[in-house]
Structures are given as structure tokens and as C-alpha cells.
Amino acid sequence: MKLAVVILAAGQGKRMKSDLPKVLQPLAGKPLLGHVVSRARSLNPSSMHVVYGHGGDAVRAALANENLQWALQAEQLGTGHAVMQAMPNVADDELVLVLYGDVPLIRADTLRQLIDAAGDKAMSLLTVMLDDPAGYGRIVRDASGAIQKIVEQKDATKAQLEIREGNSGIMAVPAKLLRSWLGQLKNSNAQGEYYLTDVIAMAVKDNVKVTPLIAPTVAEVLGVNDKVQLAELEAKNRAERARELMVAGATLADPARIDIRAEVTLGRDVFIDANVLLEGKVTLGDRVRIGPNTVLRDVIIGADCVIHPNSVLEQSELASGCLIGPYARIRPGSRLGANAHVGNFVELKKTMLGEGSKANHLTYLGDAVIGKGVNIGAGTITCNYDGVNKSTTTIEDGAFIGSGNMLVAPVRIGKNATTGAGSTITKDAPDGQLTLSRGKQMSLEGWQRPEKKPK
């Protein structure tokens, strides 16, 4: 059967105490709903439907590039009512997978098992065993263990409240059957809502097989209702992502102090120290070492690179053997050749630093093309911006840039050229020669330093 995913995302989330809709609250740098959409997308559904309500414009805008079908739930009348809003765009020959926009850690493997357990004339339901099931609908089974119905907490008897198996709300149901059952829902319950969970009893009555699947972990079915729960899920997500990296072969100095918000591609024998943040897409080659308090965002780092502490690298690429930092910043559009060095308090922006070239201290290199074997002296600045235009500084192979240089772009420093310390270079420096530009040094005899008048 073709798969249609319906994600319920209309809740207001009053307990968040935030102007941001609940499903847009960030987890690992991404909206809660974004996590659910990503998981669903990995199942290759034929269609994806999001039922939205509160903060509708903001929700749609945040996921405008996701190719989703949107269904408005203007009034929040329960989960059954929410699914009804999406059903006009779901075909009868599809299997409907119901997900929730505030349940971000559901695993794709769990969902695949749930889908496999359903069929043309069978549905499946994801349940969870809880030490404290307060707030969850209870799974009522008969003596043989078959599911009979789900009872919401406010409607449960004292005996039913003792049941530890809770309802996650996630289910896979043939669309034709679901459409029929939704049409029979009534709101005669403690909350006056149309419960999606009531379709379970309808399935049993119609002799439709209901296959339960107990979630492998509690974390993957937990929802978010307030900032405390959001922080708890953030911690669970960090722990899970850290575990994935270690299983893939990385050594983490402290798994509790790494924040992985990235799609990570990992080489062998990678070492990552404490308080490292990974975002976007990050590729780490063999034997890469990442120092503490480092941020890596959308970077490719070649084999044997060492990133020293407190460095920030984003949207850049490093070839093998590079040494970075401490306290270095590699800004977007930069590329480093093999064995290049970028030292402490050095900033690169949209700069090509060639093989074996070094900028070890207190330097800014922006919009620069730097060849092989170049040495950049401390305190060098490429003056690349005139207030309107950004211009390029070109430094050819083997050049030696003296300390305290101002290189006023556009300018070219020739092959094997040398510039003297303290120079302001405004014209091209020829190959193989020393170029320097300094004002005449003077000492003024008799000059006295101003003194403050006594109070």
C-alpha cells in the first residue's frame, strides 16, 4: 500500500508560555515539527499532510520548503477531529500513519515496524510501558492479550488507571477503514472531544486486527508540553546522538558534554573533546582531533587535522593535516590546503589558504587567494572592503608577509616576494623582491608628555 503520513500539529502549547507555536520550539537547533517531518520523509511516503492551527502562518512559513500538504484545524476539537481535516486529501488505497508534531524523537525503524504490522484489513498501534503512566490513555487488553480499546485518563476507572501500558497515539490504519470510523466518532466524554483513540474499539467491533507494537524506548514517544519537558528531550537527544557517534567509532572525552545537531560523516580514530557543538553537515576525516569548546558548522575536515580549543569553523573545507587555533575563526567560503596553519586569534573569511601556508597570530584574511608555502606575519590585515565593494588580495607561492602589514585590496603580492614589517601595501609587489612602505621615523627633541593638572 502507498503510505500517507498525517502529522497533527495544531496545538497551542499554552504551558510553553511562549509566542512561538509549540511545534516550532527548537530541539537540537531544529523545530520539533521539523524533526517529525524528517523522520517521516525517511519512510518515502506518497504524501505528507500537516494539520495546523495555532500560529498557522508561522508554522507554514517555517516549513515552506518541505513540500507538505496543509490542513487547517480551525477549532481544536480533539485528535479525531484533527485527522478528519486531512482525510479529504488522502486516497482510500493508502495506509495512514498518524504522527504528532511535538513527538520529535520517534525512530524511523520503529515506524517501519509499525507500518509492516498493518495492511489492507489490519491496523497497528504503538504503545509504551511506563513506570508512571499519568496523563496517558491506557491500553485495555482482554485475557488473551488482545487490545480491546483505549481509555483516556479522564475517563478511566480506578482499575484502569493502574494499567502501565500507555497509548503513544501513533498508529497505522488503512485509509478507507479510518475514514469510516472517523465518521462515527462522538464527543460524549469528559473532555467533550472527538478522540482518535476511539477507532480502536471500532476496529475490534468490526473484527479488524489491531496489532500492538511496544515502543523499544520511552524517549521516542515522549511529547513536549512545557520548557521542562523540552529540556529533558534535548538531553535525551544529546545522549542518543553521542552514543551513535561512539558506536560509529569516535572517542568522546565526555559523552554528556557534546551537542550534535549535525549530519555527521565520520572517519576512523576521531577524537572529540568536551563542549563541542556540531551543526549542519559535518565530515570528519581519519584521526581528526577536535579540541574543547569548538563549534563546527557545515564543514569538511580532512584526515589528521587538529582543531585546537575555542575555535569556530563554518561552511569551509580543510584538506589533510591542517592545524587550527586555539581561538581561530574560519568563516564561510574558506578553503585550506594540506598542512596549512591558522593560529590563535586569526580570522579567515572567503579565503583560499594554500598548501603549507601559515597565518599563526592575530591576523584577518578576507577575500584572499593565498598560494603555497606563504608565511603571513602577525597582525596582518587584508583591507578588502571600501564601504561598498569587496576586493581580492592575491598572494603568490612562497611569499613572506611581514608583521603588521595592511594589504589594501585589490592588490597582488608576487611569487617569493617579501613585504617589510609595518608596511601598508597599496600597489602590487613584484616577484622575488622586498617591498616596504613606511613613514620616516623622527624623534622630537624637547617634547614633553602632557601631564594631568592636580585636582
**Residues spanned by CATH 3.90.550.10 within the chain?**
2-221
**Other Cβ atoms within 10 Å of 228 Cβ, number:** 10
CB 342 within 8 A of CB 324: yes
Q: Is 141 left (phi over 0), alpha (psi -120 to 50) or beta?
A: beta
Judged by DSSP in three states, 154 sits in helix
Q: How many residues does the chain have?
A: 455
Closest to 24 in 3D by CA, of 51, 61, 77, 49: 61
CB 6 within 8 A of CB 99: yes
Torsion, Cα of 140, 142, 146, 151 (10° steps): -10
d(C-alpha 230, C-alpha 20), whole Å: 14
pLDDT of 36: 98
- 227-435 folds as UDP N-Acetylglucosamine Acyltransferase; domain 1 (2.160.10)
* Radius of gyration of the chain, Cα coordinates, nearest whole angstrom: 31
Burial of residue 43 (CB within 10 Å: 0-12, 13-18, 19+) is middle
d(C-alpha 95, C-alpha 183), whole Å: 17
pLDDT of 190: 83
CB 390 within 8 A of CB 415: no
CA angle 273, 277, 281 (to 5 degrees): 115
CA distances for 128 relative to 90, 106, 125, 164, 201, angstroms: 28, 12, 10, 8, 19
Set 35, 49, 54, 361: catalytic member: 361
CB 237 within 8 A of CB 150: no
Whether 35 sits among the annotated catalytic residues: the reply is no
Q: Which residues contact 88 (CB under 8 A, 6 or more apart)?
A: 71
Residue with cell 576586493: 391
Pairing mode, strands 271-272 and 251-252 = parallel
pLDDT of 55: 83
Cis omega before residue 174 (within 30°)? no
d(C-alpha 83, C-alpha 80), whole Å: 5
CATH class given for the domain over 2-221: alpha beta
CB 221 within 8 A of CB 114: no
Mean pLDDT (10-residue bins), the chain, 455 residues? 96 90 95 97 97 91 95 94 97 97 97 96 96 92 92 92 95 97 92 92 95 95 95 96 97 97 97 98 98 98 98 98 98 98 98 98 98 98 95 98 97 98 97 94 91 88
pLDDT of 54: 82
pLDDT of 13: 86
Closest to 98 in 3D by CA, of 77, 125, 121: 125
**Residues spanned by CATH 2.160.10.10 within the chain?**
227-435
What type of residue sits at position 122?
A: A
CA angle 323, 328, 334 (to 5 degrees): 75
